[in-house]
Amino acid sequence: MSSNHPLKKNVYNKTGLPELGLRNYWYPVLASLRLRKGRPKSVKVLGEEVVLFRNKNKIYALNDQCAHRGARLSEGSCLYPDSDTLTCPYHGWTYSGETGQCVAKLMEGPGITIPNEAKVKTYPVREHLGVIWLFVGDMEAVPLQEDLPECLANTDEWHTISTWRTYHCNWRPLNDNLCYDLHAPFLHRNSPELIFQPIFPFASRVKTIPLKDAKGLGYRALGGITESDYPGLGHFPPPKEAFWRRLKPLGRGQELDPQSSQATKRYGIKYRHMSLLPTVTLVGRPSGDYFMCRWVTPIDSETTLFYSFNAFRRHSTIKTFFDRLSWILWQSWTHDLIFSDQDKRVVEKVRSDREQLSLSDAGVIAWRKFIVDNSRRPNDENLHQNLNT
């Protein structure tokens, strides 16, 4: 890694990862329904204060600090709703959402000359899947589709339901938690979502494989056991925990078999569990018809937004209806609430400066290295060549 690589700066402990997250990517920052027309909304992304506002049925994003005296633009108003502007609450400086240029200083009259320096930073912003996406970076924004997995990009083939939660921790422990680190067989073994599943194998060896598009890693767990005796302790899992697992389990957690799984044969999906840049985790099913897509959005050094997309493959109107019904009646609380809460209670208290990595962390180690070696940077010539072809 070259000495001028941006991840060399502001690194988080010894991981080589930046404390405030990976720049030069799109991130989900707010549900569209939370941004009402004419009412600015403040968000923080990768440590940067941003004001979002909707005017003329379009969304704009500006730095949330007036160039005049530093007042919060998010406390201002869309005083002229038929324009693309936002007005500061302090002295009426009014900014174009398109360019960030001050177009009027209301308390100084209409005839004054406004210098070019009277402007604020603008951010690329898009609306997709009922979510507002923001690009925070040091380069021209790539198309949003460039950063989306296929199950979020292709709305003709997939439909989604999204939720979000705030974690009071740095983005890195949460990102580590989502890649293949073998905590599920222990932490989640008695969650409602897994109660009718077989005991996930533990003591597996994790194999990581770079994806062909160079945007992430696929994971495979090799071997493993479902129970064992520990000298001086006893049996794991304890017999009192495992009685329900004798009820014909569904087994949705097994690895994909390239020779027999529908996901591979019909759709070319080779891995049940994948990590994608910048902070995306995909966990699917052998059918290939569903993915849990988890997107980690860094807010600041101690706060992270956890966006969840439940992506269902479209088959028919009736199937779509039952997909959504099953999410409402089952997945919304068993996974998006209870299952995630089991992670949240632990991850928010993780002390990464005290870690001693071990065999179960093979996926974590590989994913951290992949991020450092492959994250997008402004002078990435290959990226610009790909975008121009």
The tens digit of pLDDT for each residue in 53-70 reads 998 889 999 999 999 999
Looking at residue 101, what DSSP letter applies? Answer: B
Please give the mean pLDDT across all residues of the chain: 87
d(CA 137, CA 68): 24
The residue assigned the tokens 């997909």 is 323
Q: Is the pLDDT of residue 224 over 70?
A: yes
The tens digit of pLDDT for each residue in 267-291 reads 888 898 999 999 999 999 888 899 9
Cα distances from 30 to residues 1, 9, 40, 148, 307, in angstroms, run 34, 28, 12, 16, 9
The residue assigned the tokens 């077989």 is 198
Pick the closest to residue 141 from 256, 223, 24, 300 (CA basis). 24
Tokens of residue 15, six digits: 């991981």
d(CA 101, CA 103): 6
Mean pLDDT of 250-263: 62
Mean pLDDT of 156-166: 96
Grouping H, G, I as helix, E, B as strand and the rest as coil, residue 297 is: strand
- Domain 148-382, CATH number (from 3.30.70.260, 3.90.380.10, 3.30.70.2860, 3.50.50.60): 3.90.380.10
Cα distances from 211 to residues 46, 215, 380, in angstroms, run 26, 7, 19
d(CA 336, CA 329): 12
Tokens of residue 367, six digits: 């994913």
Percent of the chain with pLDDT over 70: 87
Tokens of residue 26, six digits: 């799109």
User: CA-based angle 335:297:25, to the nearest 5?
Assistant: 130
Q: Residues 263, 268, 274, 277: is their CA dihedral positive or negative? A: negative
The residue assigned the tokens 């994003």 is 61
Looking at residue 77, what DSSP letter applies? Answer: B
The tens digit of pLDDT for each residue in 15-39 reads 789 999 999 999 999 999 999 998 9
* pLDDT for residue 6: 43
The residue assigned the tokens 């890694």 is 1
d(CA 163, CA 138): 29
The tens digit of pLDDT for each residue in 120-156 reads 999 999 999 999 999 999 999 999 999 999 999 999 9
User: Where are the CATH 2.102.10.10 domain residues in the chain?
Assistant: 36-124
Q: Is the pLDDT of residue 193 over 80?
A: no
Answer yes or no: pTM beyond 0.85.
yes
Which residue pairs from 136-139 have beta carbons closer than 8 angstroms and sit at least 24 positions apart in sequence?
Answer: 136/23, 136/24, 136/25, 136/27, 136/45, 136/46, 136/48, 137/23, 137/24, 137/25, 137/378, 138/6, 138/23, 138/24, 138/378, 139/24, 139/376, 139/377, 139/378
Reported as a pLDDT band with limits 50, 70 and 90, residue 388 is: very low
The contacts of residue 139 (CB under 8 Å, 6+ apart) are 24, 376, 377, 378
CB contact at 8 A, 161 and 340: no
Phi–psi pair at 137, nearest 5 degrees: -165, -175
User: Where are the CATH 3.90.380.10 domain residues in the chain?
Assistant: 148-382
CATH class in words for 36-124: mainly beta
Percent of the chain with pLDDT over 90: 64
